Structure 1
Amino acid sequence: MITALTPNPSVDRAVSVGDLERGQVLRATSSRVDPGGKGVNVGRAIAAMGGDPLVVVPSGGPEGALFEALLAQTDVTASVVEVAGSVRMNISVLEPDGTTTKLNEPGPDLSEAEVNALMEATLERATPGSWVAGCGSLPPGAPSDLYAQLVREAVARGASVAIDSSGSPMAEAVAARPTLIKPNREELAELTGRTLDTLGAVIDTARELVRSGVAYVAVSLGRDGAVLVTASDVSHARAIITEPVSTVGAGDCMLAGLLFGLDSGLDPAEALQQGVSWGAAAVRLPGTEVPTPADLDGIDVAFTRSPGRDMPLDD
């Protein structure tokens, strides 16, 4: 059982253009709209894998009505907390070579009562043996220790907790010792104050976090795949995508595959490979479109438990 709290969901509009030229009038070649936010993307991907996740989200305003209508068209069960403010709209501009430019709005200003309602709706599913994931940025009004509170409360109820965020919310959550974290390389560098130019530097930094009490540290590395570090193992998996379309949501699909694998009883290395497969499939799709099992066709994942520590990481 996997529950994903998304305190700052969005309506995601993806617009495809030719070359992006600043200050010019451009004609879009295509566009699509999806319900978005990290936890929503995680839930949509897990549902595509055959799971039955719950996503917990705030919703309000005209954009909230659109968000709920889009979410209702998916296979994801949602617990919606009505709020006074409006759900944000994020825009991604996609170029033919896969370059993605994102414009993210801040989101609604949540009241203390609205934040408490979100937490209560999430903790209702925090039962022994379940996974709870806190995903994405926090909207204005939410306390920076929201995810840290989630970790403490959910773990006390016997659940495992995954956190995918950045900045102060991520740092405070890590200090509370979640079960799993999934930063990208830039977020890991921000979290630890390290320069992470090689795979070895990432692995060493992840090991320190494991020694501090985080059971699983999964670091997404873009074109260089992902690495998973536990107390007893280091795994690196990578898939080569020659024709990327959009990177938006790829890390979320990677986390979904990893979490669903762990929740289904796969060992961590197998779960990582599943996550990388789904993340790679997402890169071949427009906007935040979530892959289906058929989209994994033709994706080969290279895996090793002895990664080259000197491997430079792609900028």
Structure 2
Amino acid sequence: MILTVTPNPSLDRTYELPGLTRGAVLRATADRVDPGGKGINVSRAVAAAGHRTVAVAPLGGPEGKLLARLLGEHGIEAAGVPIAGSTRVNITLVEPEGTLTKVNAAGPDISEAEAERLLDAVRTRSAGTEWIACCGSLPRGLPPEWYAELVARSHRAGTRIALDTSGAALVAALRERPDVIKPNTEELAEAVGRPLATVGDALKAAQELCELGARSVLASLGAAGQLLVEGSGAYFAGARVDAVRSNVGAGDASLAGFLAAGGTGHAALSAAVAHGAAAVQLPGSVMPAPADLDLSAVVTTSDIPMDLALTEPSP
């Protein structure tokens, strides 16, 4: 079982538009609402693969109630922690050629008591858990050290931790030695304080984060592929994608595939790439099911293409 922790979940509303004109009244040709937040997306991908998953998240207001209901409809056990504020609503506008415009709300303030109840919910629901995936930005009220505390408590309970966050929260958590971190190119560059132009640059940056405390690094490098750096060595994998429909949640799908495949080694890396490649070919933030995966399209190697350029944003 994989337990996910999403400190700042959301309802993700997507509107498909014939065009985007500022100041005009726009009429959507289609719309949908999905449970959102990086950890929630990981749970959705795990559930789509037929595995058990529990999603721990602060839920407040009618938006939180709707989010809990949607999680149940996706086959996810919701471990909601009641909060005084309301769960945020994010908006995505999709133009016909695929251009996405996103409006992400800041989210509610989390009190000290609510933050402690969130940590306690992780403790009480983590029995028998193979992995705890802690994902996303921290909402207002939670200090950068909050993830570090969660990693420390989970390790004391004997549970492996995957961490997908950025900035000060990522740096603070490194001292507690998370079992795997999953930065994208921009987050990796931010963590080491310099731009990354090639896969070789990304490899060096990932090795530096391992020296700072990460036990392994799974780095999403956009169209270039994905890089895994761990104790047994470094591996690189990529897959050809003919047409990208949406990269929303693709990195979360990759992490779900990686953890579901064991969370270590080249086979898990291949699963991560297969999940990410499938996700970008699906609409909105739809998570791939097993029928969407094509492992035969994934090429995995320990011969890292050091000079391969990183030119596109990663999911």
The code of the aligned residue for 2:218 comes to A
Query: Any conservation in 2 of the 1:129–1:158 contact (CA below 8 Å)?
Result: no
Letter in 2 for 1:160: R
Residue 253 of structure 2: aligned partner: 253
**Structure 1: stretches of 5+ with no match in the other structure:** none
In the TM superposition, 1:4-153 aligns within 5 A as 4-126=4-126, 130-153=130-153
The Cα shift of 1:66 comes to 1.8
Task: Spell out, residue by residue over 1:51-72, the C-alpha distance to the aligned partner (whole angstroms, 9 max, x if none).
Answer: 1111101111121122122112
Q: CA deviation at 1:221?
A: 1.3
| Counterpart check, 1:294 vs 2:296 | no
Partner of 1:274: 271
Cα-to-partner distance string for 1:189-208 (whole Å, 9 max, x where unaligned): 11110211100000011112
Give yes or no for contact 1:96–1:245 (8 Å, CA) kept in 2. no
What's the CA shift for 1:307?
A: 2.1
Gaps of 5+ in 2: none
* Structure 1 range deviating more: 50-59 or 21-30: 21-30
Say which is worse superposed, 142-151 or 15-24, in terms of deviation. Answer: 15-24
- 1:50 shift after superposition: 2.1
**Secondary structure of 1:208's match?**
helix
- In 1, Cα distance between the equivalents of 2:225 and 2:108? 34
Note the C-alpha offset of 1:120: 0.5
**Which deviates the most, 126-135 or 154-163?**
126-135
- 1:124 match: secondary structure: helix
156-165 or 17-26: bigger deviation: 17-26
Amino acid at match of 2:209: L
> Shift of the alpha carbon at 1:163?
0.6
Aligned residues: 312
For 1:290, the aligned partner's letter is M
Pair 1:249–1:172, CA change in 2 (3 A): same
Superposed displacement of residue 26, structure 1: 3.8
CA distance in 1, matches of 2:20, 2:296: 29
| 1:231 counterpart letter in structure 2 | G
8 Å Cα contact 2:19/2:96 also seen in 1: yes
- Change in CA separation of 1:126 and 1:28 when aligned onto 2, cut-off 3 Å: same
Shift of 1:129: 7.0
Match of 1:220 in 2: 220
Aligned to 2:302: 305
* Pair 193,40 (structure 1): closer, same or farther in 2 beyond 3 Å: same
1:198 and 2:195 correspond: no
**CA contact 2:270–2:295 (8 Å) conserved in 1:** no
Per the alignment, do residues 206 and 29 of structure 1 end up closer, same or farther by CA in structure 2, a change over 3 Å counting? Answer: same
How far apart are residue 100 of structure 1 and its match? Answer: 2.5
Report the Cα distance in structure 2 between the residues aligned to 1:172 and 1:31, rounded to whole angstroms: 39
For residues 217-268 of structure 1, what are the alpha-carbon distances to aligned partners after superposition, in whole Å with 9 as ceiling and x for unaligned?
Answer: 01111212211111222111112222211111110000000111116xxx52
Query: RMSD of the alignment, in Å?
Result: 1.9
In structure 1, C-alpha distance between the alignment counterparts of 2:114 and 2:276, rounded to whole Å: 32
Q: Distance in 1 between matches of 2:71 and 2:296?
A: 28
Q: Deviations for 1:66-102, whole angstroms, at most 9, x for unmatched residues?
A: 2122112111111111111100001122234443322
Q: Match of 1:117, as an amino acid?
A: R
Letter in 2 for 1:246: S
After superposition, residues 184-195 of structure 1 pair within 5 angstroms as: 184-195=184-195
With 165-174 and 206-215 compared, the bigger mean Cα shift is at: 206-215
Cα distance in structure 1, aligned partners of 2:245 and 2:308: 26
Distance 1:145 1:25 in 2: 44
In 1, the alpha carbon distance for the partners of 2:208 and 2:201 equals 11
Q: Distance in 2 between matches of 1:168 and 1:18?
A: 40
Counterparts in 2 of 1:184 and 1:70: CA distance versus 1, 3 Å: same
Distance 1:167 1:210 in 2: 16
More displaced 10-residue stretch of structure 1: 224-233 or 4-13: 224-233
